Structure 1
Amino acid sequence: MNGNTPYAGLPGETAAGQRAAADIPDLSRTQKRTLHRDVSRIAARTREYLPNEYVVDANVSTSATGPQVTVAVRPPVGHAVSAGFSPDLEDRSEELITADERDEVARGLAASAALQVKQAIGSNVTPTAK
């Protein structure tokens, strides 16, 4: 029965449960540089929205389906938030992640991180002024 499933692998080539190397998209040097540049822009834009107490980091890795981009924010209190996605490699344009997508991710992460702080603090803070 296992020999009939797509998860059985190819004898001598692909282990059971793994994808064949031909199925995983390969990035060119230019695409890798572009992807790293774009994810760095997302992190920089997110830092612009937040005070210095927030830690922002970005990572490009390879998953079973191809490149995976992750940008994470660690607020001073509360839980960390992150955004992860796979860029569209079929698009042969100059940018793998468009400017609109970068701005949307940065704004969303900044808002989520600020909300985490607000939820962690709750109503325990005494206002300094009215």
Structure 2
Amino acid sequence: MGPNVNTADVELSVEQRRALQAGLDTVAARTREYLPDEYVVGAQIIAGTDGPQGTIAVQPPVGAAVSAGFTPDFEELSDGIAEEDRTEVARQLAASAALQVKQAVSDGITPVGR
């Protein structure tokens, strides 16, 4: 996109939307591989303030949800989300979701002193 293009006004073509959704679905599937079944993982394309954005979210069984967003480079979107980005985001999301559970469980435990 040139410097005078307002990305908030950009619409994704059918091919771009499919490529972005396929990348998001891959990240979501990889994230699920790292986590037990109790975690809910989803991916969607939303209308962000800077134009269309992909979001992957994880809701742990306890604790706060965690998410990651992708603002696509519209000129390179047909290539999808880079493979190394897919793996790295999946790992980080899984780790963040597991940390949320750990923090939620530790907050509910009262230490016992002697």
Normalized against structure 1, the TM-score is what? 0.72
Alignment-mate amino acid for residue 89 of structure 2: V
Question: Relative contact order, CA 8 A, sep 6+: which one is greater?
Answer: 2
1:1-130 superposed matches below 5 A: 23=6, 24-91=9-76, 94-122=78-106, 124=109
CA distance, structure 1, for counterparts of residue 17 and residue 60 of structure 2? 29
* Higher helix residue share: 2
* 1:38/1:95 contact within 8 Å kept: no
Aligned match of 1:16 = none
Q: Alignment identity in percent?
A: 55
Number of matched pairs: 103
After TM superposition, give the deviation of residue 30 of structure 1 in Å: 1.0
Task: Give the secondary structure class of the aligned counterpart of 2:100.
Answer: helix
Task: Give the secondary structure class of the aligned counterpart of 2:36.
Answer: coil
Alignment-mate amino acid for residue 42 of structure 1: V
* 5+ long unaligned stretches in structure 2: none
Normalized against structure 2, the TM-score is what? 0.81
CA distance, structure 2, for counterparts of residue 49 and residue 63 of structure 1? 28
After TM superposition, give the deviation of residue 96 of structure 1 in Å: 2.4
After TM superposition, give the deviation of residue 66 of structure 1 in Å: 1.7
* 1:75/1:114 contact within 8 Å kept: yes
Give the 4+ runs in structure 1 shifted more than 3 A: none
Task: Please tell me the root mean square deviation across aligned C-alpha atoms, in Å.
Answer: 1.9
CA distance, structure 2, for counterparts of residue 32 and residue 57 of structure 1? 16
Larger Rg: 1
